[in-house]
Structure 1
Amino acid sequence: MADSLFGSGFALARVALDAATMRHETIAANIANINTEGYTPLKVGFEEYLDRADIARADWSLSRNAVTPVVEPDLSTASISPQVALSTEIVKLNANTIQYQVLVKAMSRAASVLQIAISEGK
């Protein structure tokens, strides 16, 4: 219902919030396994899939099922060091926290606009 009231942007923000939550949990798992031999760091793939889905030109309501966050091995650091770097994970955690807060604030503002419309500006 919210998607029909707010449009496709609200649906995209909702899925992005899910991705941010998954990313937070994934980063926490990486930090928890920092001293585990043979552990491969994980990442959440989401933004890359948005680019591939070409959402800018497509109707989000038709393609949202094709774009879901996925936890996958982070092979980008495997050639450098197979272990988890605490400083890198902390930076990722901070960036993800800021992104999450921005998404929540945007959704809150959209909801407050609807509340004003419902109460006829009173």
Structure 2
Amino acid sequence: MLFNNLYSNVNILEKALDASWLRNEAIASNIANADTPGYKRKDVEFEKYLNEAIKFNKSIHEIDTDKINPKIITEYSNLKNRMDENNVDIDVEMTEMAKNSIKYNTLISQVSNQFKRISIVLGK
């Protein structure tokens, strides 16, 4: 049971890493298109799906991680701020990039710690 719990945590962390990587790509695209007329900001939804799965299953160890996938969404808010109908705010994107980098590095550290624990359980 302990090994299953450790491995399920790794699966969830892997999905979170995928989401963070995808979010980094979306933010980079937003920054690159900050001055493109008509471009709409992209973001990634993942945490919402994970929270719904946790509420449904009542335990993080019972979640089927194959059913939780990050998705790129297009945001249509804040279109009134610019005449070119681009809704990217470069300051917001740079802040989001920094936050996402910190999150990604934290997740990598957690994955590393999980593998250390698995190694200890296996006696290696």
TM class, shorter-length: 0.7 to 0.9
Paired residue type of 1:87: D
Structure 2: gaps of 5 or more residues: none
Question: Are the aligned partners of 1:27 and 1:93 in contact in 2 as well (CA < 8 Å)?
Answer: yes
Q: Is the 8 A contact 1:41 1:84 kept in 2?
A: yes
3-state DSSP class of the match of 2:43? strand
Query: In structure 2, how many angstroms separate the alpha carbons of the residues matched to 1:25 and 1:93?
Result: 10
Match of 2:38 in 1: 38
Q: How far, CA to CA, are the matches of 2:115 and 2:30 in structure 1?
A: 35
Amino acid at match of 2:89: A
Aligned pairs for 1:50-65 (under 5 A) are: 50-53=50-53, 54=55, 57-58=58-59, 62-65=63-66
- Secondary structure of residue in 1 paired with 2:13: helix
- One-letter identity of the residue aligned with 1:99: K
Normalised TM-score (structure 2): 0.80
Matches of 1:55 and 1:19 in 2, distance apart? 21
How far apart, in 1, do the equivalents of 2:57 and 2:77 lie? 27
Q: Which runs of 4+ in 1 moved over 6 A?
A: none
Deviation at 1:74, TM superposition (A): 1.9
Higher relative contact order (CA 8 A, sep 6+): 2
Give the RMSD, CA atoms, in angstroms: 2.4
SS at match of 2:22: helix
TM-score (norm 1): 0.81
Distance 2:52 2:81 in 1: 27
Distance 1:101 1:51 in 2: 21
Q: Tell me, which stretches of 5 or more residues in structure 1 are unaligned? A: none
